[in-house]
Amino acid sequence: CLTLVGALVLVGAGPAAAQSQPRVVRELKFEGNKSLPSTMLANSISTTVSSWFARSSVVRWIGLGEKRFFNETEFQRDVLRLEVIYRRSGFPDVRVDTVVKRTPTDVFATFRIMEGKPILLTDLAISGLDSLSEKERRSVREGLPLRTGQPFNLALLQASVDTLVWRLRSRGSPRADACREYAVYSAARTAAAGIALEPG
């Protein structure tokens, strides 16, 4: 009798144990992201898709490839992470929705992004280059990551600061530094930025 009871307990625990198994992320897609690449968005969130061998319906039955498991809490946080990235990239009205297909073992997830109208950079002022010749000033300023007429992206503003400082240091000003400032005009959906260089 003890053996039979033990067997019944084990059989009864089987389905519950199966249901508690984490689901494998078989697909992760982004839709509507016209301004930011999917690879950048995928690298900025916690949810990651399994490797190709673990995703492909043709070969995944073999059991090869790295499986990535779905975490419901982190997935909801990923929505907030994507919205923050977009707002810092000049899209304050962004909205992110999700579509998730769940099976007992798998998850197929899609982020649907509605970017909204961007804040455009209308003016980028760079000061502190008076000691350089006109040709040198043009060389230092050209090809910066942040450009007027494009969405005002805080990451690109910092990248432009770093680029300018590096160019000055490579030209013989090892103590060169810079500070930045910006203003956003929400009603007009424009922004202006300034970078003050200190050659040292």
Q: How many C-beta atoms surround the C-beta of residue 77 within 10 A?
A: 14
Per-residue pLDDT of the chain (200 residues; tens, 9 = 90+): 444 344 434 344 444 444 568 889 999 999 999 999 999 999 999 999 876 445 455 444 455 557 889 999 999 999 999 999 999 999 999 999 999 999 998 999 999 999 999 999 999 999 999 988 999 999 999 999 999 999 999 999 999 999 999 999 998 889 999 999 999 999 999 999 999 999 87
In DSSP terms, which residues pair with 195 in a beta bridge?
126, 180
- DSSP string covering 119-149, please? PEEEEEEEE--TTS-HHHHHHHHTT-SS-TT
Q: What is the pTM of this model?
A: 0.78
pLDDT tens for 137-192 read 999 999 999 999 999 999 999 999 999 999 999 988 899 999 999 999 999 999 99
Q: What would the two tokens of residue 153 be?
A: 């992206």
